[in-house]
Structure formats: C-alpha cells, structure tokens
Structure 1
Amino acid sequence: MSGRIDLGLLVAALTAALALSPAAAAPQAGVMDARAQIAAAPSATITNGLITATVLLPEGDKAFYRGTRFDRSGVVSALAYKDRQFYGPWFDRISGEVRDFAYDGDDIVAGPNTAMVGPADEFDFDTPPGWAEAAPGGVFVKIGVGVLRRPDDAKYSPFRTYDLVEPGRRTVKIGKDAVTFTHTLAEPTTGYGYVYAKTLRLPKGQPRLLIAHSLRNTGTKPIVTTVYNHNFLTFGGAALGEGLSITTPFQITSGRPPSAEAAAIRGRSIAYLKTLRDKDRVSSSIEGFGTTAADNSATVHDDGLRAGVTFHGDHPLSKMQLWSIRSVVAVEPFITLVVPPGQEAHWTYAYDYAAA
C-alpha cells in the first residue's frame, strides 16, 4: 500500500483492515527533506467534522519513521482544527550523520531516531526490557518497535540505531474517525512477549483526540516499563516564545528550571519571556505533582496565535519535563506500568484543542 488514503471521501461506515509487512525497515540514510518524506509516506486521514488528522502508517521501508526509539504506531503528521495546524515536522531535514538533532545554517536537522512528529510515544528511554540481561550480540525488546540486538557493552542510548532482529506482526484497522494499531511480539529467549494496541479516535462533536493504549503480557516475565508522550507541538510552524505558556493543575517546582532570560515559573505556569530564535532552547523538569491521575495534565497555549491544547492522562505521573526550541514545544508526561504475565494494562490520553 502506498500514497495517501483519504477516508473522508469514503462512506462514513467504511473500515479497512491492513496486514502490514513484517520486513525489517532500515533507518533513513543520507540527507532527506522532512516534508517530502512525510508526503511520500503511506497515511490515513481521519475526521469527525471538526478535526482532521493525518496518521502515518508503519509500512516497512515505505514508512516515514524507521528509527528504533519511538513507538512506530499512531504517528500524527498533521492535525487541523478551525484554521490552526497543531503538528508537523519541526525539523527541515533528516540525516543519518546526526545523533539527536543539529543546526545547519537556518535548517534544523534531525537524526533518524529523533525524526518524529505529533504526539509520539516512547517506551523505556533509559533501559528497555532485556537490555541489562543481554550480552553483546544478545537481544532485548523495545516496545512498539520490536526485538533489537545489543551490539556491545556501551550504555543503552535511545539516539543510537540498533539492528531490528524481529519486527513482530502489525495490523491496522482504519475507520472514518479512528485508526487502531496492533503490534504482536514474542521473544522466548528473553521471556518477553506482548500484544500492544493503540487507538486514535476523534469523538463526534468534540475538538478532541483520544489515544487509548493496551499492553497484554504474553511472555513469562513481568513487563516493567515507563512510557511517555513526547508531544511534538508545532503550531503550524510559527516561531515560539513570548506569549506561550504551560499550565498544570499543581504548583510547579523544578530542580532544573528554565534559563531566567527565556522563561519563568509562575505558580502553576511556565511563561515564555522571549521569542525563541536560532539555537535558543527552553527546557525544565516539571515537579510538584501529586500521586493521583488528576495531576497528569497540562495546557500549552500561545496567546499570539490564540490556540492551544490541553492533555489529560488517566494514570499518575512518574515524571514530567519540558523541552522546546524555536520550532517545537514538548511537554512530556511519564507514567510507569507493571504488567505481570497474563495480565493487561490500559491507559488513555485525551487531547483537547482550542482555536479562536
């Protein structure tokens, strides 16, 4: 399957099921234009009449994202509400020579493992299941990616590309207002196996995106995993900064506050004090949250653009942090899951969009 699927032209009740190729996809090599790569990637368009979203499909070598860091399902390359765009590429080019991201003149260049867009999930930024037990040449599991090979004794790095030994089986079910991804993986030598499902749905009559996940442990070992959403919010490519704020339900403290000239913590908010240019960066740990899911929420709003998004999660936070450069702002909520063999975990995020 290739090209763009516009389900808005189909009968509202139409659904489709795709069995995706299990072939291992190599990360991007060389230097490529990010927007051209997205345009060429297989995708599905979903809509509820208020919101229209483009969801990229994880179809082997045709897929946009081929790194070994982020969950490959549910990649949102564009989401429009009223006349506002909320997601899109925050980098200009992709290069296999770049570890994380770098600047080249006026361009931002992302490495193949960081070149992700939209509200993207990553499991186990620090240590994936099976990594600690794997000797060089052995294998470990990156949830949402597959079975990877540990090449040496170096510390695990999400920015490093690892050989994909077993991609598992992926299926996708597409409807007019929803897409469901299922990733089934088994690695008996490590004791890890799972069925991971992720549904993106646009509820009728609401400017809302629901992202519902389930993780069923089919292996013999408990799955202890920390997952976060990177939330690559771009506001349609507008320069970010003065007038932008992040607001939480709790009083914000930070052991790693933002630089004083760029942003300030003010009670429950972080306020940007300048427009970000060139290599400016605003980053901070966001602390002060409690032990209930009520604090797993944040609003990112740009007064100048008169647009914003609020997310709500249904699990308590284990960590939250902020990262932003001139082209993107990311408020990242982390949760920790413990899934014994034979059991299943569920978690959901609701994203509410606002535009004047």
Structure 2
Amino acid sequence: MMEDIVLRSGRLAVAVKHPSEVGGARFDRTGFVTGVTLDDAHAFCAYELPGIWDPTKGAGLCGEFDNQMKLGYDEAKPGEWFPKLGVGLLRRESEAPYQFMKAYEVRPYRIDVEQADAGSVTFAVHPDECLGYAVRYRKSLTVEHHALRVDYELVNTGARPIETNEYAHNFVCLDGKTVGPDYALAFAGERSSEFKVHVGDIRAEADRLEWGSVPERDFYARLHPGGEGAPMPSGWTLTHRPSGLRMSEACGFGVELIAVWGMAHNVSPEMFAPVRIAPGETLAWSRTYRFGD
C-alpha cells in the first residue's frame, strides 16, 4: 500500500491518493484529493459513502472524463477495449449502452508521479492507443497559502480528434456539517438560464441554490447554457452560514455544463470543462480552490 501524498502550505494540508491506490472504472486516478485541512482546524472533504473509503468510489476532489460524451464505446464490440481518460482501457461486456457506474474490467494507464517539493505534485499519464485514440496527460496540483490549484494538459497523440468533457466531482462537506438550510451555494458570473431541479428540496434563487430541509435522499440540479455562446458561471462558493466557513472553485475555462448532486453528508458542485483536441494539438486548463473561515 502506498502512503498518501500530502501537500502543504502555510495554511493548508492536502491529502492526495497515489494512483495505484485508486481503483474502479470511473474516476481519474491522478490528483485524487481525499482531504483538505485549513489551519489544522477545518476540514472540507467527504467520501461518496458516508465515512467509508472505497477505492472504487468517489471522495473529496476527484474528477472524471467521458461521463457525458463517451469515447469509443459505441464502436467497440463486446469483449474489446475502449479508452477512459485518466483511468485506462476498459473492456466492453455486452451490447448494452455505456454505464458510468459499471465496474468494467480495466487495463490501467502507466502513470509517473513527480514531486519536486512539499507544495506540489505532477502526474504524467502515458498514452496507450486504442481505436485511434491516444492522449498524453499531465495533471499538477500546487498549494499556496489557502489555495489549491489544479492544472491540466492533454496532448492528442492519436489519429482521431478527442471530443469529450471533464468535470471535478467535488464531494464537499464543511467541517462535517450536515447539508441543509444552513448552507448556500452561490455562483460567480452571469448565466443565461435557470437551474432545473430534478430531485430534492432545492430552491434555485437568482444567484444561488439553497436547501429547504435536510435531504432525506439524493438531490440533483443542472444548468445548461441558454443558447449558442450564452454566458455560464465561472465558479462557485459554498458557505456554511452559522460558522462562516466557506470553500470556492474558480474555473480557468469556459464552462459548458453545471450539475449539483449530493446527499445529507456532502454537496458536489460539478463544473464541466469542454475537451476538444485535434490530432497533434494540446489543450490546457485549470481549477483553483480556495478555503476560508
């Protein structure tokens, strides 16, 4: 078992799983943050399963490619492999449609871990060509003062264009406080349409989402752009109003979709980044998280 990689600044301690300790066929195995602590006093992350670490499930600040736009699955025959960026090659089992939570057999990508100092780490994912798709992927995490920055760089080394997206799932809980009316989730920047609440007691206000009660089951809301080139929020701030504790994400890319999922023990604001890369081209973007009281 590999120990966690712990990044430190003057105020933050960030626990990151070694890629070999992350399993399953869904979440990006690089930069998988399971814990963030501010000033040795405040915690910001939750597990997908309340209080239980499962290497095949989500936790803290973890990401996923290809959830909305799957690469290669439809053309792979049952028994053949298809790519899952950040994870490896997955084996298609049947004629059934792709299921993002299914435990497909995985042939993991080779990943190198590079850490030059206590405040940063870089993961280098080697390409493994499949169905004409291949990507060289670097992901770097850097902590400074009360901020964590995540930088992504993808180089399309294959013969086919990459057309998909990536999002950070963000299993977030502020000091273990139960989700409910004490929380508010505000969004930065303009938006051209309103959140559509699909499940749960969520109120969509002018610039934020609020909860009318403590959730008894999953909640889910989604925001699409209102039209071609319409504005979308560029970040969010989650606040626990009684304590003043807060966490935010600022996106260094043009957001194409926002989803908010969670249960009583966590909130997951999900900002989707477009990933469109022609053969031979490079795409880079970033996310910056800030933590405060």
- So what's the TM-score if we normalise by structure 1? 0.75
SS in 2 for 1:151: coil
Letter in 1 for 2:164: T
Unaligned runs of 5+ in 1: 4-41, 95-109
Distance 2:224 2:175 in 1: 29
Q: Is the 8 A contact 2:225 2:232 kept in 1?
A: no
Q: Is the 8 A contact 2:37 2:44 kept in 1?
A: yes
Distance 1:85 1:55 in 2: 14
Greater helix proportion: 1
SS in 2 for 1:256: strand
Give the number of equivalent residue pairs.
Answer: 288
Equivalent positions of 1:229-308 (< 5 A) are 229-248=168-187, 249-250=189-190, 253-256=194-197, 259=200, 262-276=201-215, 279-287=216-224, 291=229, 295-308=233-246
How big is the alpha-carbon RMSD for the aligned residues of Structure 1 and Structure 2?
A: 2.2
Letter in 2 for 1:267: A
Shift of the alpha carbon at 1:308?
1.2
Distance 1:140 1:163 in 2: 11
> For 1:195, which of 106, 117, 136 is the aligned residue?
136
Structure 1 residues 323 and 294, CA, compared in 2 at 3 Å: closer, same or farther?
A: closer
Sequence identity (%) = 24
Aligned equivalent of 1:71? 28
Letter in 2 for 1:58: P
Q: Is the 8 A contact 1:289 1:317 kept in 2?
A: no
Letter in 2 for 1:84: H
Shift of the alpha carbon at 1:191?
0.9
Distance 2:54 2:289 in 1: 27
Distance 2:51 2:36 in 1: 21
Structure 1 residues 202 and 77, CA, compared in 2 at 3 Å: closer, same or farther?
A: same
The reply on whether 1:150 has 2:89 as its aligned counterpart is: no
- Residues 194-215 of structure 1 deviation map (CA, whole Å, 9 limit, x = unaligned): 1111111012xx3110000000
Shift of the alpha carbon at 1:354?
1.4
Letter in 1 for 2:190: F
Letter in 1 for 2:37: A
Structure with higher Rg: it is 1
Q: Is the 8 A contact 1:281 1:325 kept in 2?
A: yes
The reply on whether 1:220 has 2:177 as its aligned counterpart is: no
Aligned equivalent of 1:100? none
- Residues 152-175 of structure 1 deviation map (CA, whole Å, 9 limit, x = unaligned): 10100111011123x221100122
Q: Is the 8 A contact 1:245 1:302 kept in 2?
A: yes
- So what's the TM-score if we normalise by structure 2? 0.91
> For 1:89, which of 43, 47, 59 is the aligned residue?
47
Deviates most, 324-333 or 285-294: 285-294
SS in 2 for 1:202: strand
